[in-house]
Every structure is written in structure tokens, then in C-alpha cells.
Amino acid sequence: MSTRVRGAVVITGSSTGIGRATALALDRQGFEVFAGVRRPEDGEALRASASGSLEPLIVDVTDGASIAAAAARVREATGARLAGLVNNAGVVVPGPVEGIELDELRRQLEVNVVGQVAVTQAFLSMIRAARGRVVFMSSIGGRMSVPHLSPYHASKHALEAIGDSLRQEMRRFGVGVAIIEPGAVATPFWDKGLGEAPKARAAMGADLLAIYGDELDRIEAASERTAARGVPPERVADAVVHALTDAKPRTRYLVGTDAKLQAAMRTVLPARVFDRLIARELGT
């Protein structure tokens, strides 16, 4: 295990999946990790799998007071110098554009976009002081879109734009900004998305369900197949470690063969041809 000389890192959404794998990978790399979770029991479970230098950090990215308290704790513990911030917390809201509840759309953007900006604002002075780095967890879904996930795609496209702007704004301070773009990942995140499907169906009502129900069935089945062949979250964690530690980090990291293939197809294929391929894959 590395000697703990790399400084401190904050990561949000560390309870499961990519966040948990990344927190543990950074811990092994010798960072002092502040692992953001929403529930104390999740933090203790994570601490039990890590070294004594990982500290759970209670933070809800949609709550300003929670973010401020987390930032105060990190400032006190680190002398206001932070080597890295990994904006990983996120949710997924499914459903056709015609049937999305507007409050659910707001929730999607509040967690995945506004929350990420709020956290970044709270910690950025500490990052700048240490000439550290910021990482945004986007998705291949930040480059392309598929049916019935428009809120999620909108949030990831927004993160891509915010990350690009922040990278340019921080260049003169020596602060690096990277965007991670995984494809399918074998994590509970897929379960959360599928778990939201019944709620989305109920909100649509009988008329819209009659229009979209069969298509939703096929898309959910395709999502389950995709999740089954997803890369392990440790692959994504490796990309985050590279973004935080390499002397010449990339601005973007595509993770997984499917992500690289889809990115290439989206670049070279006309939009209508790409649409037909997506429809064929989803069975719609």
C-alpha cells in the first residue's frame, strides 16, 4: 500500500457501485479519502473495508446546509487544501418525454447537475489552493441519447458542458478538470433506474401507458441485458485514479468497449442511421 502522501480527496455518492469502488481505490493509492454518503450506516460499512485514513462524510448534494457542513469538516481536517474532488453522486429518472412528471425532471437535474455545481463551489477554493483536480462522473449518455431516458441524458449533457467550462476557467490556476464517460457498468445504479420504472409508469396514467407500455417493456428488458454485460465498477475507478494522479491526465475518459463503440458511431453516422441502430438494439 502506498504511503499516505498524496493529499486529501472528496468523493460524493460513495455508498455503492462506482463511488464505493473509487473511494476504496483512492484509499489504496494513499489518499486521505473523505467518502460522501447520505446515511451513517453506509459510511461505517465503507470504513470497514478501507484503511484507517478513509473518513465517511455525510453529505446530501441537494441540501446546502449539508454541503456547507461537509466543506467545513474537510477544511478543518486538511488546512483548506484538497488534492481532488470527484463529483459522483447521481440518480436516473426514466420515462418518455410526454409522460415525465415535471417534479421528477427537476429532481433529476437537482441531483445530477445543480448538486454537482453546489459541491464544486463549496470545495473549489481548497482545490485551487492545492492546484488539485476536479472529476465529473458523466456517461456515454452525455454524448448521445436513447428513448425514455431524456432527463438522465439531459443531466449528463449538462455535466459535460459544465466540466468543459470549468476546465477552461481553472487552467490559469493549474487546476485540472476531467470528465469520466462510462458505458454499461455492473452496479446497483442500473437497479435504481429499473426500480424507478414502476413509479414512472404509474405517473403516466392509462392513456399514455397504452401508447408506450409495450415499448417500455422492451426497453427495460434491454436495460437488464446491458447491465448484465457491464464492466465492473473498478474499471471506472481506475480511470478516476488516472485522472487524479497522472502527470498528463486526459480531459475525457471513455470506459468500456460499448462506450467507445457508441461514441465512434455517434461521431461518424448520420443521426437517422444512428437512431435506427438504437431502435434495433432496444427492439423498438
Q: Which residues are part of the catalytic machinery?
A: 152
Hey, is 8 helix, strand or coil? strand
DSSP 284: -
C-alpha cell at 268: 461518424
CA distance 259 to 264: 9
Query: What's the alpha-carbon Rg for the chain, to the nearest Å?
Result: 19
Question: Do the beta carbons of residue 137 and residue 18 sit within 8 Å?
Answer: yes
Backbone angles phi, psi at 133, to 5 degrees: -140, 150
Question: Do the beta carbons of residue 142 and residue 179 sit within 8 Å?
Answer: yes
CA distance 232 to 52: 25
Encoded amino acid at 92, one letter = V
Q: What Å distances lie between residue 132 and 85, 178, 202, 244, CA to CA?
A: 8, 12, 45, 8
